[in-house]
Amino acid sequence: MKKRLLLFLAWLGLFLGALSAVEVSAAVVGWGGEGGFGWTAVRIHRLILVAGGFCAGWAAFAGGGIGPLLSPRTVAERYASAGFFFLILWVVLPGGAALPSGAAWTASGLLFLWMAPLSLAALCRALPERAGRGGLPEEGAARFGFWILVLFGGWAGAARVASGPVPAWVGTAGVAAVLLLALAGVAWCVVLAALFRDGGWDRIRHGAGGGFLLAAALAFPLWLALVWIGSFRGLGAHLHLTLFDAAVDDIAVPGLGAMAFLGYFARPVRAHRAAFWLYAGGFVFLIGGGLAGGILQALAFTDRAVPFAAVGSLLKPLLWMRLIGWGAMGTALIVYGWGFFERRAK
């Protein structure tokens, strides 16, 4: 009986690990991806022609990918990021030590080369309009940051495996790319400083969706700063594969990506203002729980006096904190959707 219970708990752990792959894939490809494609279709109308194909592809991914992701696996194959490249690397599916390396590169491409440029494009369109300016100030700095992001963003994910069983040049290239990405963060801060002066901050804050837009604008340099901190080999060796990585990715997708699009389409109605405060509160819980949990895990793993099994019990309050954050953000999205009906009713 005891052996069966242990086997059941082991199977449950593998099943939950596969569920997290489904959750991450749904967030990036479904939530953030559809938001990005929806925004580009609004700006470039001819892209509506590919909307049906994109929806069909997402349905095929959900139908064909969720089953294999939930299938029984060995412990060596249980990586939460496996869902990222289920279809993207379908020609040669890596295994063993190559699995996290491929996941890191693919996740880096999704976030730095797709999600971040789309989100920043929405912000560069919406922020000057809300600030009452004729165009984007410091456009030269914005272009510089864009090319830094495009040229080096794809390599940034390799920094997460710098201390792992991969060739040394892979981790070194990833760390170098992250250090160069700091220039994109500095360039974006220059653009924001020009936008916020002469009352621009107040005009954006009091405009429709201003809270979402400002939070998304500040999330980008925060995201790059945490990626930069995690790229140091001494820190990364302890922080990677903990909740710290999850919190950093959450700043990118529910933070920068989702809030940029929510702010762009927001209307001056009470529901959207309420949705912002509910979403912002949940976001603080989500990121705070993840960062604190990652640091706690790193400290516990380096302390030989703390058993490995005890780490899970230490994380329970922080996991509940993240769960509350997700619940608040999900409720905020429902309130946000109701805001469009409130607008029509008027």
Per residue in 210-220, pLDDT tens?
889 999 999 99
Contact assessment for residue 171 and residue 163, using Cβ atoms and an 8 Å cutoff: yes
Q: At CA 16, angle to CA 13 and CA 18, rounded to 5?
A: 110
> In angstroms, rounded to a whole number, what is the distance separating the alpha carbons of residues 47 and 230?
37
Tell me if 324 sits within 8 A of 318, measured CB to CB: no
Closest CA to 252 of 211, 283, 295: 283
Residue where one domain finishes, among candidates 93, 124, 154: 93
Q: Are 155 and 149 in contact (CB under 8 A)?
A: no
Terminal CA-to-CA distance of the chain, rounded, Å?
Answer: 64
Q: What is the mean pLDDT of the chain?
A: 76
pLDDT in tens, 93-119: 555 556 666 667 777 777 888 888 888
Query: Residue 215 and residue 217: Cα distance in Å, rounded?
Result: 5
pLDDT given at position 270? 85
Domain boundary among 77, 93, 109: 93
The region, left, alpha or beta by phi > 0 then psi within -120 to 50, assigned to residue 269 is: beta
118 shares a domain with 21: no
| DSSP letters spanning 218-271 | HHHHHHHHHHHHHTSHHHHHHHTTSHHHHHHHHIIIIIIIHHHHHHHH--SSHH
Which domain does 27 fall in, by range? 1-93
Q: Please say which residue of 69, 93, 117 terminates a domain.
A: 93
Q: Are 321 and 303 in contact (CB under 8 A)?
A: no
Q: Verify that 266 and 159 share a domain, yes or no.
A: yes
Same domain, 149 and 235: yes
Task: Pick left, alpha or beta for residue 138 (phi over 0 → left; psi -120 to 50 → alpha; otherwise beta).
Answer: left
63: tokens are 């139908």
What is the C-alpha to C-alpha distance for residues 257 and 329, in angstroms, rounded to an integer? Answer: 14
Query: In this structure, are 108 and 65 located in the same domain?
Result: no
Q: In total, how many domains does the chain have?
A: 2
297 pLDDT more than 90: no
Cα–Cα distance list, 166 to 83, 160, 161, 244 (Å): 21, 11, 7, 21
Look at residue 223 in the predicted model and tell me its pLDDT. 92
What are 150-166's pLDDT values in tens digits? 888 888 877 777 766 66
266 and 122 fall within a common domain = yes
DSSP 8-state assignment for residue 88? T
CB 213 within 8 A of CB 123: yes
**8 — pLDDT class (breaks 50, 70, 90):** low
Same domain (yes/no): 175, 46: no
This prediction's pTM: 0.76
Say if residue 157 is in the same domain as residue 130.
yes
Query: Region 295-306: what's the mean pLDDT?
Result: 81
Residue-wise pLDDT tens digits, 60-102: 666 655 555 555 555 444 444 444 444 444 445 555 556 666 6
Task: Kindly tell me the sign of the dihedral angle through the C-alpha atoms of 132, 138, 142, 143.
Answer: positive
Query: Are residues 189 and 65 both part of a single domain?
Result: no
> Are 75 and 108 in a shared domain?
no
Residue 201 belongs to domain with CATH number:
1.20.210.10
| Across 19-32, average pLDDT | 62
Rounded to whole angstroms, how far apart are CA atoms 322 and 337? 23
Are residues 61 and 126 located together in one domain of the fold?
Answer: no
Shared-domain flag, residues 283 and 294: yes
Dist CA 151 CA 113 (whole Å) = 9
Q: What is the mean pLDDT of residues 299-319?
A: 78
Same-domain check for residues 120 and 140: yes
Q: Are 279 and 214 in contact (CB under 8 A)?
A: no
Can you say whether residue 153 is alpha, beta or left, with left for phi > 0 and alpha for psi between -120 and 50 degrees? alpha
